[in-house]
Each structure stands twice: as C-alpha cells, then as structure tokens.
Structure 1
Amino acid sequence: MLKIIDKWKIWFSLSLIVIIIGIGCMIYRGGLNFGIDFKGGTQVIFDLGNGFNKAQADKIVNEYVNDATTNTVNSNEYEIKSANLTSEQVNEIFNKFKTEFKVGDKALISQNQIGASIGKELTDNAIIALCIAFICMLIYIAIRFEFKFGLAALIALFHDILITVSVYAIFNITVNSPFIAAILTVVGYSMNDSIVIFDRIRENMKFIKRTSPREVANKSVNQTMARSINTTSTTLVTIIAVYIFVPSVRDFAFPLIVGIAAGAYSSIFIASPVWVMLKDRSLKKGKRKKEVVVEELP
C-alpha cells in the first residue's frame, strides 16, 4: 500500500513551487495577461473561406499589432482581438487579406469595440458565483459528511484555482472570458473527485475502528486512486482532442485541461492530507480536554 499521506511534505512542496513561480511572474509582469474581454479593445471577424491558412493570416496580423489573439471559427471565419487595433490597421489588414486569400469586400463580417466595464462585471459576477458555490458546498459536505471534510475540499479547490492561474502567469497566456467559465467548471469537477475519496474514508472509518486517521486515509486513497486516475485520464483525452481539433474553443479547453489535472492531483495529494491534519488536530484537542478534566477531579 502506498503511503500517500506520509509524504504530504513532498506533495505540498510541488504545488507551492508552481504557485510561488506563478506569483513571481505576476509580480514581475505587473499581473496576468488580461485580454480585451477585461481591458477593452477591438474584435474583428473576417470570412477568409474554408480551409484558409491560419499561420499565413497570423503572420499578416503580427505585422501590424503585437498583442493580438486570433482564433478560427467554423473553419472559414478568422477572429482577431486586440487592445491596440485601430480602424486604419483593420483596413490595412483587410487589404492584405484580399490579396492573399482572394476574398471580396464582404469578407469583413463584423468589427466591434469591447468596453473594459464588461470584463469587470463578468469578473465580479464570477467571484460572487464562486463564493456562493463554496458556501453551498461547505454546508452540503458538513451535513453529508463532517465540517473537516468540507474545509479540506475547499482548500483543495483553492489549490486548483491557484495552480491554473499560476500556469497562465508563468506562460503569459492571455486571460479572456472563457477562462472564467472554465474555472467554474473545474470547481465542480474537482469537488466531485474529492467527495469520492471522502466517501470511501467515511465508509472505512465505520469498519476500521481504533485506527488512526492517517491509516484510514492511506487505505482509502489507495482504494480510489485507480478510479480517480482513470476517470481523469478519460476526461483529459476528450478535452485535449477538442483543444487540438476545435480551435474556436481553445480559450475554454486549455484552462479546463490544467484545472482538471490539478483537481485530480489535489483530491489525492492535497485534500486527504489536509483532512488528516485537521482530524489529528481535533483529536489532540480532545485528549487535552480529557486530561484537564481528569486533573480537576478530586
């Protein structure tokens, strides 16, 4: 049997290294690389025809703007988002597209200005949604299991969010609105993974009495590890395939890949050790109280 809980310092250190590097990158760069959904900017969509060469289109765009993010939509539409794209630059890019891709004047489908206030409203609503979700999950787990399980699960969720944000900070990936949706999805998925392990711990505690929380947790994690890894692997294969073959949803798929992988890691290597620490601390307090009561008895 693998002694997962006994090596908690290793698991915590691995996560801390990633998070600290991510925080360092954010401090060095002055924050995350927010896209126009948060900072505001210009969104332009062109119809360049089926099977157009995206790399060639990207090369043309990069001649005019350095901060642009581009996507392929429905195999024929090409989307550009940039905080510094002017109308003159759009016209120059469009003229180049006409020459390179042999498109007409109607190839420019839309050109929109996105205000930063939309991103702020989206962020505020996402934070409120996360807080409500955390409170509801904590109440549910406290009633269904016990409060310590809920607290350990929430710590694991914060870990998953921090890891995902850190990866974006380390690689300077643009953060747009799909990132928020992906984070909310990861929270639900990670919680489900942790509950499976906690449910096994609760069942084992009924049948394995006079055993330390550490031993119960080790046995439970070993019993559910194969299930967690298989489920996560199946999910990741599907999302990676979507990321590769459906470019239009990559902004949503990539944080899902990072978050779900982090969730599988945290449910095994973070949530369970945290629960053991909380349980051991509670048992020690209980013993101290009993010792005090015994000493006070005449």
Structure 2
Amino acid sequence: MDFNAHYKDRFDFVKHRKKFFGISIAITVLGIIVLLFAGMNYGVDFRAGTSLDISIGQATDKAKVDQVFTDSGLVPTIVTIGGNNNDHVSARYNNILADDEIKKVQKAFVTTYGDKVSQEVNTVSPDIARELGIKAMIAVGIASVAICIYVSIRFEWRFAIAAIISILHDAFIVISLFAIFRLEVNLPFLAAILTTIGYSINDKIIIFDRIRENLRFAKVKSNEDLADLIHHSTWQTMSRNINTVVTVLVAVLCLFIFGSQSIKLFALAKMIGLASGAYSSICIASPLWYLLRNKSLGSKRKATA
C-alpha cells in the first residue's frame, strides 16, 4: 500500500518505543514500591471509620481548624481544607464516632464559626469496608476480561493482548500516582478507574481499526513495512484521538475546578486516566502490537527459508 508521504517526516512512535516503555516501567516500579511499603491512602469507603465533611461558610486556615478539633477533644487522623474559599473541612477518623461525639465536633465548629456551619457524616463498618474492597477488585477484573474478549472477537488475539496490557497500564498509572502522592482512595476513585478503562479502550480501538484497515491493502514483508504501517495509521487517527480526549478533558477540568470537594479527587483521577489512556494508545498499545506481529513475521520468514 502506498502510504501518504505527508506522515513520513512526523515523529515515529514505534521507533522510539523503548523510551516510552522505559517511562511506563519506571512509574510502574515506583508505584509498586510505594504500594508494598506504604500502601494506598484508603478513604473511609474502604477503611472502617467516620469521615466528616464540614462546610463553615467562611475562609479559614489549617491552624485554626486544628485548634477547633483539639477543643472538641476529638482530633481526626487526617484533616484537609478545600473549597473555593477554603471554607470546607474534611476530617477522617479511623474509628467509628458515636452520635454524641459527632455532635461535640459540630458544636465546636458552631462555637468558632457561627450558625452557618453544616456537616455531612459518612460512617463505614469494618465488614462493609472489606466487602467494598473485594467488590472493587472484582469489578475491575470483570471489566478487563470483558474488554479482552470483545477485542479478541472484533480483531485478533495480538490486538487483545496489546489492548489489555495498555489498559491495565492506564489503571495502574492512576493507582501509582495516587499512592505516590498519598491521595485519598474512595468509591469515586473506583468509578474513575472504571471509566478510564472505558475511554482508554475507545482510543485504542480507533487506532487498531485503522491498522487493521490499512493491513488489508498493505504488503507487509518486513518489520520496516510493519513499522511504517503503524506509523501512518497512528498519524491518520491522531486528530480524532486528540479531539476526543480534549473534549472529555475540558468537561472533567470543569468538574475539578467548579465541583464540590467530594468530586475533586474523582475528577483528578479521571484527568490522569484520560492523559494516560491517550499516551498508551499511541506510545504503548500500537508498539506492543508491533512486537507481537513482528514475531509472527519472523516465524514466517524462518518457515519460508
């Protein structure tokens, strides 16, 4: 097949695949080390305890909030301050607070900040936390297997292997960065992982579909021919991939900027996942398929010889 010469001078992702593999491996290894020694910063959804989301109706600072908790006699494990004007306080306790203890905290904030104070309480028992953790792993596993089956049926096993590896790469990149920077992991985080998997496979299907289409008319006799086919297929779908990702990123960025405190971490995880999905579709999935297909070409050449 005579490919458009317009793409020949553009950046060759297949040629530089080892650099991209190295970057992904470095982040993955660092993430594994952090997970082994520090684990994830689980929120109350996956760890028994009580979380309080307190809206105080005015700007505040960490020192003042810490003093309020000290005055109440119930100092939380983790305290974060957020909101558009630093008017929102999130507190997490590793133990389950009784009703009178929750009221004591609220009273302390009302005393300091006035009657505009309101709070939302979320309590999870140990059994529920354990059940949520198990179901989260099952959900990710089922989604990955279903996608692998879908890609195998629609394309071929090499595409399926490349897709599932790069999808797991995207999910683990999000997990690694949240572990490294000690960001809280909760149910919205799980939702972000699952939607990341969905958007990620969409990007990969676009490129794989073009590769398959070009492969029908191409005479691939060497690894150079195969690399050239992937290079042109990637750039032929580049504008579509970029437009798709940017459109969703704008929406997620609006959620991160204007959304409530409880949805900011979901939006952040989604932004990381979208960026990783776009990166892996171009820099990981296609080069992986190239390696698998190239081995097949090598086997055919030996058989012919």
Query: TM-score, structure 1 length as denominator?
Result: 0.84
From 65, 76, 82, the counterpart of 2:76 = 65
Three-state SS of the structure 2 residue aligned to 1:81 is strand
**Equivalence for 2:162:** 152
1:81 lines up with 2:89 in the alignment: no
Structure-1 separation of matches of 2:258 and 2:171: 26
**Equivalence for 1:232:** 245
**Equivalence for 1:268:** 282
* 1:207 alignment partner AA: F
Q: Return 81-90 or 32-41, whichever deviates more.
A: 81-90
From 113, 122, 141, the counterpart of 1:131 = 141
Moved over 6 A (4+): 75-78
Structure-1 separation of matches of 2:275 and 2:249: 8
Structure-2 separation of matches of 1:108 and 1:98: 9
Gaps of 5+ in 1: 292-298
Contact 2:48 2:96 survives alignment (8 Å):
no
From 168, 171, 177, the counterpart of 1:167 = 177
Structure-2 separation of matches of 1:237 and 1:202: 31
**Equivalence for 1:179:** 189
Contact 2:193 2:273 survives alignment (8 Å):
yes
**Equivalence for 2:7:** none
Three-state SS of the structure 1 residue aligned to 2:15 is helix
Three-state SS of the structure 1 residue aligned to 2:183 is coil
Structure-1 separation of matches of 2:130 and 2:301: 50
Identity %: 36
**Equivalence for 1:6:** 15
Three-state SS of the structure 2 residue aligned to 1:2 is coil
* 1:280 alignment partner AA: N
Structure-2 separation of matches of 1:17 and 1:61: 43
**How far apart are 1:245 and its partner, in Å?**
0.8
* 1:253 alignment partner AA: A
**How far apart are 1:92 and its partner, in Å?**
4.5
Figure out how many residues of one structure are paired with residues of the other and give that number: 285
Structure-2 separation of matches of 1:221 and 1:173: 34
**How far apart are 1:179 and its partner, in Å?**
1.0
Q: 1:219 to 1:58 in 2, by over 3 A?
A: farther
Structure-2 separation of matches of 1:84 and 1:95: 20
Matches within 5 A, 1:18-57: 18-29=27-38, 31-46=39-54, 48=56, 51-53=57-59, 55=61
**How far apart are 1:152 and its partner, in Å?**
0.5
1:278 lines up with 2:292 in the alignment: yes
**How far apart are 1:53 and its partner, in Å?**
3.0
**How far apart are 1:136 and its partner, in Å?**
2.2
**Equivalence for 2:228:** 215
**Equivalence for 1:242:** 255
**Equivalence for 1:141:** 151
Contact 1:123 1:180 survives alignment (8 Å):
no
C-alpha RMSD of the superposition: 2.8
